[in-house]
Amino acid sequence: MMKNMRIPSLARPLGAMTAALLLAAGAAHAAEPISPIVAVKVTNAAKVDLGKKLFFDPRLSRSGFISCNSCHNLSMGGSDNITSSIGDRWQKGPINSPTVLNSSLNLAQFWDGRAKDLKEQAGGPIANPGEMAFTHDLAVDLLRSIPQYVTEFKAVFGHDKLSIDEVTAAIAAFEETLVTPNARFDKWLQGDKTAINAQELRGYELFKSSGCIACHNGPNVGGASFQKMGLIEPYKTTNTAEGRFAVTKQDIDRFYFKVPTLRNVELTYPYFHDGAADTLAQAVDTMGRLQLGRKFSEAEIADVVAFLQTLTGDQPRVVLPILPPSSDKTKRPQPFD
Amino acid sequence: MMKNMRIPSLARPLGAMTAALLLAAGAAHAAEPISPIVAVKVTNAAKVDLGKKLFFDPRLSRSGFISCNSCHNLSMGGSDNITSSIGDRWQKGPINSPTVLNSSLNLAQFWDGRAKDLKEQAGGPIANPGEMAFTHDLAVDLLRSIPQYVTEFKAVFGHDKLSIDEVTAAIAAFEETLVTPNARFDKWLQGDKTAINAQELRGYELFKSSGCIACHNGPNVGGASFQKMGLIEPYKTTNTAEGRFAVTKQDIDRFYFKVPTLRNVELTYPYFHDGAADTLAQAVDTMGRLQLGRKFSEAEIADVVAFLQTLTGDQPRVVLPILPPSSDKTKRPQPFD
């Protein structure tokens, strides 16, 4: 492991100041294929606050019951911990809900990457008949009927236009704040050698040497590429999602999915696009066999799982928003119609 | 109005200290039939914190999707703003979800008062097949499989017993903190004559003189008695709830419901046990005709509505809890089975 670390170089005589600067600049982990999550500095608090309200507002769904937070629950690692999500009228979703945490670091959004960024993503579930089952027009009409929202949108965007563009921009601004710095592993990357223990370090070494790192790398330990699910052995599932193929319509992209982040992975069970793996141990075993052609031993799996659990960072501290009340003009939801 | 106020007595020469004490003791509003909400002092923070986690934990439902907060949403006045709640498998609930805010001040819980207190109430929805559709045994098994919960229950209760008793006691402890002091009307009660305007004061006077106050009184502006829905004129509804009769089985109790609190009523639409009134104006009109035999004019309704809107207090500031993750032993929810 040490060959990949810059820490030894810091042992050379350096002024304390220089060493601190190098650490701050990330020099201590420059050679590692995973980099720490950087805390977010909120520059537009009003926009983030508006986005938070919208993220928690179930009135953006046909039923008045399902909000972004229903399936990207910030109490539960930004996911819903269900195999596939529950949509309008209890419809079974087609895919496992990916975590919203650190999602701004992904190369694209959704498992198949069909949205280029969080703003584009945010409009999807609102209008998806199997999810929130509303329409962008109805969502905007609803928000326009609520005086406090109208005031807030105007304050944030500086004009009276309240369209789905402003709605999704605000939601994305909130979601961009949902990063999880200070994971134990990041502290280790930053030079605190006591932040992870011997087993966790063994797990990380195996994670690298066995090839997991080829796809799960970068600040999000994933999220940076599309890869084939079932590379060495085919993945068996009843789930009908075909991954990237749905976007490109090219056969070569069939079963290529966005590599999920492993940040906070101990909180985001069950795993894989079909949610078929209940535990991290199962997920590591399956990945080893199907993607790497390697049967990990129980001890090896335990080591990798121990490493993965060091990737849990500080969860966003979210004060529950108080939603602006509907006005007499606001159309009431009819969830049972 | 002034005849009901003790404020004038404070005009007599009194030491500032004495006056302050009298105000603090509520003397300024002693003659009013509504009294201010008193802020809650948390004495057992660990218990409240555990209760908050449980309140937000959807794993207490069969599906893993519905938590206490789903229908008593603390972003929405402690209610769900839906005619009747959505239960397991999208079942239509039998009744409008009452607000959890200030619910500790009610004489009993549920519309028919079938639970004597919040602790007893909390166990109801978990095991109701139309709501969370779990069982107490399954809920307890689930919590016992989660190490962090086991540790927290032990720390709070001082023993290893983790039964539905501890679960509901913790939830109730959290719910007892959900009070909403500092409503503008309470400030007026406490002597700040500028806290409400002339129309709001007119509305309050009419609220008293027309008889609304007979049922909607006390700190919770309701919640203190069971009364017949449709006293002067019968209430027409397709809702089959029979109120207090369900508990006592005495014909005399048919259509007697717990008088709902009017605290934060502008946030808890729609109104009545069947959620049939979308707006406060409709609710005031219907109440006037059916309960008081009085047809309020539009101006009168506007005045009463203006008064009712002064009853919105400080909403509880809730930092979203981070739920302890399931362990490998935790049974996974099967929402679609």
**What CATH number is attached to the domain comprising B133?**
1.10.760.10
Residue A330 lies in a domain: no
Chain B residues whose CB is inside 8 A of the A89 CB are 90
Position B30 scores a pLDDT of 62
SS3 A24: helix
Give a yes or no: residue A9 inside a domain: yes
Alpha-carbon torsion angle A101, A105, A109, A111, nearest 10? -80
Which residues of B are less than 8 Å from A70 in CB distance?
65
The amino acid at residue B290 is L
Q: Is residue B72 part of a domain?
A: yes
CB–CB contact A281 B328 (8 Å):
yes
Interface of A with B (CB under 8 A): 56-59, 63-65, 70, 73-77, 80-83, 86, 89-90, 92, 266-267, 269-270, 278-281, 315, 317-323, 325-326, 328, 332-333, 335-336
pLDDT in tens, B176-209: 999 999 999 999 999 999 999 999 999 999 999 9
Tell me if residue A125 falls in helix, strand or coil.
helix
* Whether residue B277 sits in one domain with residue B196: yes
Same domain, B203 and B305: yes
Q: Can you say which residues of A are annotated as belonging to the binding site for heme c?
A: 68, 71-72, 212, 215-216, 287
How far apart are alpha carbons A311 and A37 in whole angstroms?
A: 10
Decide if B329 is inside a domain: no
Q: Are residues B93 and B131 in the same domain?
A: yes
Mutate to test the interface with B, among A66, A69, A74, A82 (most CBs of B within 10 A): A82
pLDDT, position B321:
98
Check if the beta carbon of residue B256 is closer than 8 Å to that of residue B235.
Answer: no
Specify if B234 maps to a domain: yes
When scoring A320, A328, A330, A337 by the number of chain B Cβ atoms within 10 A, the one with the most, hence best to mutate, is: A320
Tens-place pLDDT, residues B61-107: 999 999 999 999 999 999 999 999 999 999 999 999 999 999 999 99
Using CA of residue B316, residue B322, residue B327, residue B330, what is the dihedral sign? positive
- State the amino acid at position B255 in one-letter form: F
Say which residues have a Cβ less than 8 Å from residue A194's Cβ, sequence separation at least 6: none
What whole-number distance in Å separates Cα of residue B24 and Cα of residue B34? 16
Contact B81 A326 (CB under 8 A): yes
Percent above pLDDT 70 for chain B: 91
The reported pLDDT for the residue numbered A74 is 98
H or E stretch at B226: strand B226-228
Q: pLDDT confidence of B142, banded at 50, 70, 90?
A: very high
Relative to beta strand B226-228, strand B256-258 is antiparallel
User: Are A332 and B56 inside 8 Å of each other by CB?
Assistant: no
Contact B75/A56, CB-based, under 8 Å?
yes
Confidence of residue B9 (pLDDT cuts 50, 70, 90): very low
Return the pLDDT at A26: 47
Same domain, B208 and B125: no
**For the stretch B133-151, what's the b/e string if a residue is b when 16 or more beta carbons lie within 10 angstroms of its beta carbon?**
bbebebbbebbbbbeebbe
Shared domain for A16 and A95, answered yes or no, is no
Using DSSP's 3-state secondary structure scheme, residue A204 falls into: helix
* Amino acid B78: pLDDT: 98
| Residues A8 and A129 placed together within one structural domain of the fold | no
State whether B71 and B97 are in the same domain: yes
Which of B106, B141, B175 is at the close of a domain? B175
Q: Which residues of B touch A (CB under 8 A)?
A: 56-59, 63-65, 70, 73-77, 80-83, 86, 89-90, 92, 266-267, 269-270, 278-281, 315, 317-323, 325-326, 328, 332-333, 335-336
Is A49 found in the same domain as A22? no
Q: Give me the mean pLDDT over the B232-240 stretch.
A: 96
Give yes or no for residue B324 having a pLDDT over 80: yes
pLDDT at res. A1: 36
CB contact under 8 A, B322 and A63: no
Report the pLDDT averaged over residues B32-38.
98
| Statement: residue B244 has pLDDT above 90 | yes
> Per-residue pLDDT for B332 more than 70?
yes
Which pLDDT score is estimated for A9? 34
Looking at the complex, report in whole angstroms how far the Cα of residue A320 sits from the nearest Cα belonging to chain B. Answer: 6
CB-closest option in A86, A266, A323 to B65: A86
Which stretches in chain A have pLDDT values below 70?
1-30
Instruction: Clarify whether residues A45 and A72 are in a common domain.
Output: yes
Q: Which of B81, B315, B320 sits opposite A318 (nearest CB)?
A: B320
B16 within some domain? yes
- Binning pLDDT at 50, 70 and 90, where does residue B5 land? very low
Q: Is A126 a member of any domain?
A: yes
Q: What is the DSSP letter of A272?
A: S
CA distance A61 to A143: 12
B75 and B167 both lie in a single domain: yes
Residues A171, A273, single domain; the answer is: yes
Choose the mutation target among B80, B88, B320, B329 for the interface with A, i.e. most A CBs under 10 Å: B320
Cα–Cα dist B304/B201, whole Å? 9
Residues on chain B touching A280 (C-beta within 8 angstroms): 328
- Examine the predicted complex and report whether its ipTM is higher than 0.95: no
Give the minimum alpha-carbon distance from B75 to chain A in angstroms, rounded to a whole number: 4
Q: How many CB pairs under 8 A join A and B?
A: 102
Domain identity same for A196 and A62: yes
Using alpha carbons, select from B81, B185, B285, B101 the residue that is nearest to residue A146.
B81
Query: What mean pLDDT do residues B246-253 have?
Result: 95
Task: Check residue B29 and give its pLDDT.
Answer: 55
Structural domain range at position B55: 45-175
User: Which residues of B participate in catalysis according to the annotation?
Assistant: 131
Task: Please give the tally of structural domains in chain A.
Answer: 2
Q: Is residue A95 part of a domain?
A: yes
Residue A155: burial class (beta carbons within 10 Å; 0-12, 13-18, 19+): exposed
